[in-house]
Amino acid sequence: MKNRGWIAVGLLLVVSLLLAGCGQEITAEEIVAKVRETVDSTQDAHALVTATVKAQGIEMRVKAEVWEKSPNKVRAEVLEASEDRFTGTILVSDGQQAWYYEPARNQVMVGEPEGMETPLPQEMLAELQDVIQQVLDVSDVELLGDETVAGRQAYKLLLTPKEDAAQQVLPGDGTVTIWVDQEQWFILKATYEGGALGQGGMEVLSFELNPGLDDALFTYQIPEGAQVVEVQNQEPVPLTLDEARQQAGFPLLVPDDVPEGATLIEVFRAQDSIILRYNHSTQVSFAIVQGTGLASPPPLGESQGITVRGQAATAITDEAGGNSFLYWTENGVTVTIAGHLSLDEAIKVAESLQ
């Protein structure tokens, strides 16, 4: 009887603890509020992260070390990358000036942060937390439970677009899942699922909040012998077609066949690329871009792999808007045909390039 008495008391204690826990269960909205409090109270942060993207013909993974200091200082160094040329790249901004170093080319781009166009990995790393905050602003949030991330207990939240959101941050009505640290209310992991538009994510391997970062971290010493490119000197330069051929640095391709009525209206150089702009009407307007850099696909559209001029190419179509985006690499030069024209028309233009 005595043993049964202790069992009864134990059961009562367990039930009372469970009931107490139910009354104190945290909500998704409270978690989001605590995340915002952490962001507002964080003066600086240091983290080791991985970021991945698989979308519109692009597959990329990077591992990087990132430092941030309020309000607008950032430093990101890529330690590993699925594309070798990104390994060792460094992006630094003190809020007034930015530097982007690419060791594969031994080149440093220098300019104002707003005008700095950096490759995808750097954009992902520098804007990750800002994008997540924007997503929180326009999403409904659901608490899915808790899991372990990087050895820490985290709440798992599902974010879906609000029906009455003023802006679309999630292309294609995609969803975001985030994992929030239960002690410091820091986002440890985030994934994006956008159906045909692809997927991506980030995960924090380790982090420090408010470690007291030195401002010297957010300046950059240009390596001796590196080529320096001033971004402000890279405004588009109007050219004639003959001048473009002379300045391209590669055999410039010009189409023999364009949609009926389309006319070449402008030729210019922008950084390492030559752009030919064609226009006929609101129904037909497109550009042919040729250069040594990577193409930057648009955020929306259905992606497919095709063959153009004997080369593997990526085609992205936006049926609702009537736009097409076609790109491939030929003899070390990336060629892009993009604008308001059908995919069949874009392929026809591509095959006629001479």
235-351 topology per CATH: Phosphorylase Kinase; domain 1 (3.30.200)
Q: Tell me: the pLDDT tens digits for 90-117?
A: 999 998 999 999 898 899 989 888 767 6
Supply the pLDDT for residue 195.
61
**Mean pLDDT over residues 279-291, rounded?**
80
Task: Identify the residue with better confidence: 82 or 214.
Answer: 214
Supply the pLDDT for residue 240.
93
Q: Tell me: the pLDDT tens digits for 183-234?
A: 999 889 988 886 655 678 889 999 999 999 999 999 999 999 999 988 765 5
Taking the domains of the chain in order of start, what are their residue ranges? Answer: 28-218, 235-351
Which own/partner pairs from 327-335 qualify as long-range (CB within 8 Å, at least 24 positions apart)?
A: 327/295, 327/297, 331/250, 331/251, 332/250, 332/292, 333/250, 333/290, 333/291, 333/292, 334/289, 334/290, 334/291, 334/292, 334/293, 334/294, 334/295, 335/253, 335/288, 335/289, 335/290
Beta bridge partners of 237: 269
What values do phi and psi take at 23, rounded to 5?
Answer: -70, -20
Residue 341 has pLDDT above 80, yes or no: yes
**Mean pLDDT over residues 317-336, rounded?**
83
Helix axes 120-137, 28-41, angle to 10 degrees: 130
If phi > 0 it is left, if psi is from -120 to 50 it is alpha, else beta; for residue 49 that is beta
Tokens of 236: 């588009």
CATH for 28-218 is 2.50.20.10
Supply the pLDDT for residue 165.
56
Cα–Cα distance between 278 and 264 in angstroms, integer?
A: 4
**Of 79-88, 258-267, 286-295, 329-338, which gets the smallest average pLDDT?**
286-295
Task: Identify the residue with better confidence: 22 or 349.
Answer: 349
